[in-house]
Amino acid sequence: MNAIRRNLRVVRRMTAADIAQQSVYRGAWIIFMLANICTPIISLLIWRTALANGAKLPVDERYVTTYFVLLGFVTMATSSWLAGFLAQDIRLGKLSSWMVRPASLLVKFVANNLSEKFLKLFALVPMIGIVWWIFRASMNLPSGVGRWALFAVSIGLGAVLVFTIDILIASLAFWMDDVTALVQARVIIASVLSGAVVPLALMPAWSRGFVDHQPFRYTVSFPVEIVAGQLSGHELLAGLGIQLGYVVVFAALARVVWSAGLRAYSAVGA
């Protein structure tokens, strides 16, 4: 318990320090977030045009609009970029200095993830607000707080799930010279299977059994589906249970692989 409190205290202080340091680049964050929101907006316009021209889709215009307006926010809120950096630190022997400190190297990456998300979302939310204002008449937004609370919980679980998957992949650097290909493969696969490119509701019927239950759905698509209003109460509870289950499984796998890697780790000064 003392170790947990110490790590939380370190995360809080490192996050505050990272926010102060990275605030210098706030102009760059705005440019990055403009690029982040452009793809969902373009996709939104394409699908709305297709519907206006008579395309037969399994979802209506309100679902499509709600999905793509929220997509940029959810994608950023659940994203993680630690795999490549953590793998590099392992490969270059930078773990050595952290092994004699009272906190784990992972604490640094948690703080970096939180600080960058804070700054990026600070720049992104006003942009999403403008898009919402333009398309607000064509969106499904729940009026009660219940769905929004579940939305927030699901985003938190999705963020932890992505983070643990990245730790699992990066930990393979203890035994592999380069995990760059694995990192890139994860990004490409996740962009499709998470619903970041195309809503999973538009996937072919024959693929739904796999698509609806694979882990990447619960990093992006499922949180958006909660707000878009296409899930029943039973589907919500089942989905949250599956999402939590994936978090537990991948967290356990990441912990096992990370611990095994630390035992096998050797570097100058370790």
**157-216: pLDDT as tens digits:** 999 999 999 999 999 999 988 898 999 999 999 999 999 999 998 898 889 889 999 999
CA distance 232 to 222: 13
Res 268: pLDDT: 46
Res 70: pLDDT: 93
Res 270: pLDDT: 45
SS3 186: helix
Reference 127, options 33, 194, 7, 23; nearest CA is 33
Contact 252, 171 (CB under 8 A): no
Res 32: pLDDT: 78
The structural domains of the chain, with segments of one domain joined by +, span 3-264
User: Rg of the chain's alpha carbons, rounded to an integer?
Assistant: 20
Contact 119, 22 (CB under 8 A): yes
Res 194: pLDDT: 94
pLDDT under 70: residue ranges of the chain: 1-3, 99-103, 266-270
Residue whose pair of structure tokens reads 């790590």 in the numeric block: 7
pTM of the model: 0.90
Residues 6+ apart with CB under 8 A from 180: 84, 87
Res 12: pLDDT: 84
Reference 183, options 166, 197, 199, 198; nearest CA is 166
